[in-house]
Structure 1
Amino acid sequence: MRRTTFHRATLAAASLLLLAGCGSQGGGGDKGSGTVSPSPTTSPSASPSASPGASASGSSGSCAPLGAELSAADSGRTFCLAENAAFRVTLKGTEQRPWKKIAVAGDTDALKPINYGFMLRTGYGGAAYQAVAPGTVTLSSTRPLCAEPTAPGQVSCKGIQEWQVTVKVN
């Protein structure tokens, strides 16, 4: 009978995978937990998965290259996108605190809505776009900060979480 032993490299790789998984956020929803999506970042950083056609060219570094997907963490940022490139917006919400439909303002002819590719969970906000012409577009959405009371005497709030990004199509 042959004896099997773990090698140090295998053990190290398994440890790294476990540690990487511990720091990730679950998408399981925050059913009434009162948690709020992260604040917008102040320093633009490129998304690790830049989509083909994404361009960093713009007005003197005033925008970051747009990756394949935008999330609530991208709120307040400005992104550059080359014509014919596509991207998705996924805003994770809950049934109690749903995102409103994503609004498009500005040079609305610059982006064409395309098929998102799959269904979203209840409360999520999502859309997909392809850049078809040069222009500047603002995408925005809102959702309540607190869940609506479900019984008499429960506390409610009128707070709104806003999400907004600017996309410059070159």
Structure 2
Amino acid sequence: MRRTTLLALAATPLLLAGCGTHTSSTGSAKVSPVPGGPVCRGEVRLTAADSGRTVCVAKGGEVRLSLGGTKERPWKPVTVTGGALKAINSGLVIRPGNAEAAYHASTPGTGKLTSSRPMCATAPGQMSCKGIQEWTVTVTVKSG
């Protein structure tokens, strides 16, 4: 057998063992397994690094997010679409450029959280760019 084939075969169990254990920015205060589906968490915490992800939260749980920006590259306020999430007080003081938000998972369904910020800092008399950094996370709310 070739060395690359042996390495691939040896790595497969390790990769499979890691499936479903991503915890870099999601909390797990309460876990509610959904029959025939993913494990939905009672609390999910999101950061800018979570852009593009889809997360599952149990009905009655919370989604909290913190997008760290700067005065020169501020995040726009987070918007939510869909009827599954209801905004609640995040309980945090917002620093200039940051976007903080919290939501209650009130109804089974799907919600989409979005925000954006400039790619480049803007300063009078300085070169600037028109690029926009988009942030979006899809949240699925399921009954447990």
TM-score by length of 2: 0.74
How far 1:67 moved relative to its partner?
4.6
Separation (CA, whole Å) in 2 of partners of 1:55 and 1:168: 13
1:75-94 CA-to-partner distances (Å, cap 9, x unmatched) read: 00000000111121100000
Q: Quick check: 1:133 aligned with 2:110?
A: no
- Where does residue 158 of structure 1 map in the other structure? 130
Q: CA RMSD in A?
A: 2.5
Give the direction of change, closer, same or farther, for the CA distance of 1:142–1:48 in structure 2 (3 Å limit).
closer
Paired residue type of 2:130 = K
Q: Quick check: 1:91 aligned with 2:67?
A: yes
How far 1:115 moved relative to its partner?
1.0
Which residues of structure 2 form unaligned runs of 5+? 1-18
How many residues align structurally? 123
Q: Is the 8 A contact 1:83 1:132 kept in 2?
A: yes
Runs of 4+ in 1 over 4 A off after TM superposition: 58-61, 63-67
Residue 92 of structure 2, aligned match among 96, 101, 118: 118
- Where does residue 5 of structure 2 map in the other structure? none
Q: Which has the higher strand share?
A: 2
TM-score by length of 1: 0.63
Correspondence list, 1:23-102, <5 A: 45-47=22-24, 50-55=27-32, 57=34, 60-61=37-38, 65=41, 67-102=43-78
How far 1:66 moved relative to its partner?
7.2
Separation (CA, whole Å) in 2 of partners of 1:59 and 1:123: 41
What percentage of residue pairs aligned between the two structures are identical?
A: 46
1:118-160 CA-to-partner distances (Å, cap 9, x unmatched) read: 211100011101111101011000000111122x2x2110010
How far 1:47 moved relative to its partner?
4.2
How far 1:103 moved relative to its partner?
1.2
